[in-house]
Structure 1
Amino acid sequence: MPRILISFLGKPQQTSTGYRTARYDFGDGRTVTTSFFGLALRDVLMPDRLIVLGTPGSMWDVFVEHQPIGTEAERERLQLMEAVANQTVDEPLLRALEPIVGRALGTECRFGLIPYGRTELEQRRILSVLAAMVGPDDRVVLDLTHGLRHLPLLGFVSALYLQIVRRVSIDALYYGALDLTDADGHTPVLRLDGLWQLTRWLTAVHAFDKDQDYAVFAPMLRACGVSDHAVEALERAAFYERTMRVTEARRPLQEFWRLCPHPLPAPADVIEPLLDKRTAWRDSERLYTRQRDLALFYLENRDYLRSVIFALEGFITYLIQTRVPGSDPQNYDQRHQVKEQYEKACYAAAQTRQAPAADGDDPQWTAYCRLRGIRNTVVHATRPADAEEQAMLQDEARLRTKLEQLYRQLFPEEEP
């Protein structure tokens, strides 16, 4: 996986001949004196490729003249100076200078021309240019030091964009803090990895809120030092829930929390309260509550298949806990037997007119039959049982409203 350093160039002031020279201090005894922080990073990190991004008016000429290229490409260099002055630097001119600068640096060098980012369209264009210059599995280091003042923010967003869209690995984000230069002339090099990691965690939380998949946290938990055994337990729990086996998820969730340090190491500590709350059911026998909550959650997130599956299973758990107290709601034979007994009793009542169900007035039985029909249709992809069901499955709003009504009729708020 090639390691790529991406740096930005700013626009020179009218009286400026480039950036001020600084002695960049990396905090480990290494210092590099240069006017371009990206070159300091290049000396320290030795990337496989250096990508420099700038606008048509960035100080490309100053950057090129800063390199030991002698008298090579004098015509192109003169053209570049004129183009910078007129803010008309173009791609062909930059392409001609890439190999010359690359040879001088001893590193493959590529130049990217970006707009100023004044409009939303230009800001999106910057992301597109970046995405085109890297590939899947590349390891990227971003230098956010130079460039127009708003470019570091766009650079930060770009890191997230590259990770999600281009599947690159963001190794680090650097900033050469010239404003923090000390009395001895040392300019500290700041790593913004903490902010970057926090952004990744918040993105994972958003994904978790959408589908309740614990496994989204696994790679980052490993990265911050949580043991493999603990993370594997969390992944097992996620697998069981994603395959509808809620009861089997409880034990690995307990194992995960038993093996984890408390509090979780930073930056995982920011999501610990959320994860603890979402898995609080692990320490009780509240199978019905978990199934009901998942049915409601997936309904809210428009995952109707998972919602109706958990809803029907949750209602059967409710029947077991109310009709056969003390029995095991996880036992398949017990679940099947209680469901059969419930259905036979309701059918018998309807046939002999010994209960309101005979007139279709038993709301629980009516709701159960409708939910069972919807569940069977969406799970098995079969033809709807009647015209009402067919109409619901052709109109999302109508289906959602009906499921909300059925859940209110079938799901008591309190644990039985």
Structure 2
Amino acid sequence: MTTLISFLGKGDPRKGYRTATYRFNADVAYAETFFGLALTKFLKPDRLILLGTPSSMWEIFFDREGVEGDAMLPLIDAVAAGNVSEHLLNLPRLQLAKRLGIPVDCLLIPYARDGAEQAEILRRLAAVLQPGERLWIDVTHGFRHLPMLALVAARYLGRVVRVEVEEIYYGALEMTPPEGETPVLRLGGLLAMLDWVDALATYDKDGDYGVFEPLLVKDDMPEGRAKLLADAAYCERTSNPELAVKNLRRVFPSIEIHDGPLGGLFRETLKERIGWFRGPTRHDRELSLADAYLKRSDYLRAATFLYESFVTRTCFAAKCNDTDPKERDDAFDNVRKTTPAAAQLKNLRNALAHGVRSHGEQADESAKIIADESSLRKLLKELRNKLF
């Protein structure tokens, strides 16, 4: 089902809205006083939802749309008093629905004067929508602060109700040239910007830069190049950072030159987020990952990469093969007796990885540390400083 949501504002009761010719594209334009109806003609939604306050110009809107009968007089008085009820809107909306040939819902909303009223508008919208609905939102009319709320509503409804917000429209009457037509603006790019902001927040929380792949594809990066970023993220998160480095080295030049509308805006930030792969040695890169995961409070990965970095550096110093499991174990065993912090780090990593605590003095010490987050964070920082 497709649904158009349109705001109805409070205008001059003697004039209502001004008639304008809204230009949608080179071939389509409609002359209307209320942009939502021009948009209805253009989009042909399955349903129209009109949002307005108890003092919105309901009576002028319905009068202009040819609604007649006993319902109009009490509606006029109610608008003047600012106490319109849904009961008074029922008959006019049914007449309008019959004329348009689609269901029409009139949803009364508060004035969005504070957080409580703003949240109430979102609740009322969520109550009349179903998962999977495709929405268009018209923010042309209504109070000037409502478009900001509409942007939040689009994101909220998408996340909570699982609707798909296709586009946000604005009939830019103030941009109409003398004796010309009114342009119709599409503001869906704002939603795409929020997708990027969400992706950055996701990355900062869990380190998964694979979330940028679909955004880069939408932003015109070749799909194969963008997939390298997701592949790199997968390799890193499955403890194969060197394969991640190979993928990042391949995709990084594409990110550096990417100049898509939004990717270009976030390019430098993305480069900074994945810059760990530029470390000169393997143990430098693993240490960078350990620091990044500790910053995100991902203690298991922080301990794992810290341990791996120490072992890799030990292999480097001993000139042994840091990719051979046996040589890595031997290199660690050669230094663990003289480096208590290394043994402590390995015990801590094992305790975090396995969950089930083994017996023994060192295991009991690790269990005690893990039981308190501040103690665990402090110990990991101390081990990092001692070993590096």
Return the TM-score normalized by structure 2: 0.90
Asked if 1 retains the 8 angstrom alpha-carbon contact of 2:48 and 2:102, the reply is: yes
Q: Are 1:52 and 2:50 matched, yes or no?
A: yes
| Structure-1 separation of matches of 2:322 and 2:128 | 56
1:208-357 aligned at under 5 Å gives the runs 208-257=203-252, 262-282=257-277, 286-324=281-319, 327-343=320-336, 346=337, 357=338
**Count of residue pairs brought into register by the alignment:** 385
Residue of structure 2 in register with 1:200 after alignment: 195
3-state secondary structure, aligned to 1:156? helix
Letter in 2 for 1:39: L
Q: Are 1:113 and 2:108 matched, yes or no?
A: yes
CA 1:228–1:320: 2 relative to 1, 3 Å: same
Residue of structure 2 in register with 1:29 after alignment: 27
CA 1:289–1:30: 2 relative to 1, 3 Å: same
Residue of structure 2 in register with 1:8 after alignment: 7
| Structure-2 separation of matches of 1:3 and 1:257 | 40
Asked if 1 retains the 8 angstrom alpha-carbon contact of 2:204 and 2:296, the reply is: no
Q: Are 1:391 and 2:368 matched, yes or no?
A: yes
Q: By how many angstroms is 1:27 displaced? A: 3.9
Match of 1:61 among 54, 59, 62: 59
Asked if 1 retains the 8 angstrom alpha-carbon contact of 2:351 and 2:366, the reply is: no
CA 1:279–1:301: 2 relative to 1, 3 Å: closer
Q: By how many angstroms is 1:226 displaced? A: 1.4
Q: By how many angstroms is 1:303 displaced? A: 1.6
Q: By how many angstroms is 1:323 displaced? A: 2.0
| Structure-2 separation of matches of 1:121 and 1:169 | 25
Moved more, 228-237 or 329-338: 329-338
Q: By how many angstroms is 1:126 displaced? A: 1.6
Cα displacement string for residues 157-214 of structure 1 (whole angstroms, at most 9, x for unaligned residues): 2222223333333222211111111112311111223333223222222222222211
Q: Are 1:369 and 2:346 matched, yes or no?
A: no
Residue of structure 1 in register with 2:353 after alignment: 379
Letter in 2 for 1:341: N
CA 1:410–1:48: 2 relative to 1, 3 Å: farther
| Structure-2 separation of matches of 1:130 and 1:371 | 52
| Structure-2 separation of matches of 1:314 and 1:108 | 64
| Structure-1 separation of matches of 2:227 and 2:354 | 32
Match of 1:91 among 86, 94, 97: 86
3-state secondary structure, aligned to 1:330? coil
Cα displacement string for residues 116-172 of structure 1 (whole angstroms, at most 9, x for unaligned residues): 011111111122222233333332222111011111111122222223333333222
CA 1:299–1:190: 2 relative to 1, 3 Å: same
Q: Are 1:402 and 2:379 matched, yes or no?
A: yes
Q: By how many angstroms is 1:283 displaced? A: 5.2
Q: By how many angstroms is 1:238 displaced? A: 1.3
Cα displacement string for residues 234-288 of structure 1 (whole angstroms, at most 9, x for unaligned residues): 1111111122221121222223235668233221111212222333344565322
| Structure-1 separation of matches of 2:21 and 2:369 | 69
Q: By how many angstroms is 1:39 displaced? A: 1.0
CA 1:309–1:261: 2 relative to 1, 3 Å: closer
Asked if 2 retains the 8 angstrom alpha-carbon contact of 1:205 and 1:271, the reply is: no
Residue of structure 1 in register with 2:179 after alignment: 184
Asked if 1 retains the 8 angstrom alpha-carbon contact of 2:167 and 2:187, the reply is: yes
Moved more, 194-203 or 148-157: 194-203
Residue of structure 2 in register with 1:361 after alignment: none
Cα RMSD between the aligned structures? 2.3
3-state secondary structure, aligned to 2:257? coil
Q: By how many angstroms is 1:95 displaced? A: 4.8
Asked if 2 retains the 8 angstrom alpha-carbon contact of 1:139 and 1:171, the reply is: yes
Letter in 2 for 1:334: E
| Structure-2 separation of matches of 1:183 and 1:45 | 27
Letter in 1 for 2:122: L
Cα displacement string for residues 283-329 of structure 1 (whole angstroms, at most 9, x for unaligned residues): 565322222122222222222122212221122112122222xx543
| Structure-2 separation of matches of 1:330 and 1:272 | 33
Letter in 1 for 2:34: F
Q: By how many angstroms is 1:220 displaced? A: 1.5
- Gaps of at least 5 residues in structure 1 are 347-356, 358-364, 412-416
Return the TM-score normalized by structure 1: 0.85
- Gaps of at least 5 residues in structure 2 are none
